[in-house]
Amino acid sequence: MEAPRVLLFPTCLVQTFLPGVKDAARKVLAHLGAEVHEDPALTCCGQPMYNAGMWEEARVAARPFLERLAAWEGDVVFLAGSCTAMVRLEYPRLFHDTPWEEAAREVAGRVYEFSQYLVERLGVTRVPGHFPYTLAYHPSCHMLRGLKVDREPRLLLDGLEGAERVPWPEEEVCCGFGGVFSGALPELAEAMGRAKAEHLRETPAQLGVTCDPGCLLHIQGSMDPGGPPMWHLAEALAWALDHRPATDD
């Protein structure tokens, strides 16, 4: 069977602040049989401008991004639910009644968030390996409310041998990052982040896991010294792969 070709887009936050997340995702995708490609010409998808109501500016930023994705033949995997939601849900609106509307709709149909791609496209619910940690999962707003992707990351975490997932109190409450929201209302965003971090500390979890780098950075930055670290789902899966028994494929 021919290996699926996938274009991996790390997103701006991963590329700038969390490059290890991209490396982890490449490791997992390659282990699962995908042929992983990257496109260094991909920059911002235009989400910050779009969320700020600056649609004309968003189209200027998004059009080159859309052109690159339209030229790629195959699936595209994003490492952030928010960026995935932008392309899947908002590009058809952003480019409505423009010459790029058809391309936007076509591309939207083959863009996937990382956990969504693993479960829906590759049919994977268990990544081999060993992960002897207690963890709690934070569902980001764009994943949960926009993409309606919630089952997939939980399946992958629960499939990790040795892992125990515990509830995160008020786990569906926003962490306060929200992209431009945290810039417009920093004091409120900071308070929400502290509350999220405090709730994690109330659990026996040794680490928190999320699929969105914005949430990861915000919660981690709100955590007191010595508190549980935040990991991206791709990092947890890659760590498990690196610690699998020699006989486990």
Please check the confidence at residue 142 and state whether its pLDDT lies above 70.
Answer: yes
Helix spans in the chain (H): 12-17, 19-31, 47-51, 55-71, 81-85, 91-94, 101-108, 114-116, 141, 151-158, 180-184, 186-201, 213-222, 233-242
**Same-domain check for residues 138 and 117:** no
On whether residue 249 sits in a domain, the answer given is no
DSSP-derived 3-state class of residue 140: coil
With bands split at pLDDT 50, 70 and 90, how would you rate the model's confidence at 206?
very high
pTM of the predicted protein model: 0.95
Average pLDDT over residues 112-129: 96
On whether residue 62 sits in a domain, the answer given is yes
Please check the confidence at residue 2 and state whether its pLDDT lies above 90.
Answer: no
Handedness of CA 13, 136, 155, 128 (dihedral sign): positive
On whether residue 126 sits in a domain, the answer given is no
Task: Give residue 144's domain range.
Answer: 134-242
pLDDT at 182: 83
* Number of domains composing the chain: 2
**Same-domain check for residues 141 and 117:** no
Tokens of 167: 């509830």
Quick check: 130 and 159 in contact, CB under 8 A? no
Please check the confidence at residue 195 and state whether its pLDDT lies above 70.
Answer: yes
Instruction: Provide φ and ψ at 168, rounded to 5°.
Output: -100, 115
pLDDT at 248: 62
Whole-number average pLDDT of the chain? 95
Please check the confidence at residue 245 and state whether its pLDDT lies above 90.
Answer: no
> Which of 121, 150, 169 is the C-terminal boundary of a domain?
121
**Same-domain check for residues 107 and 159:** no
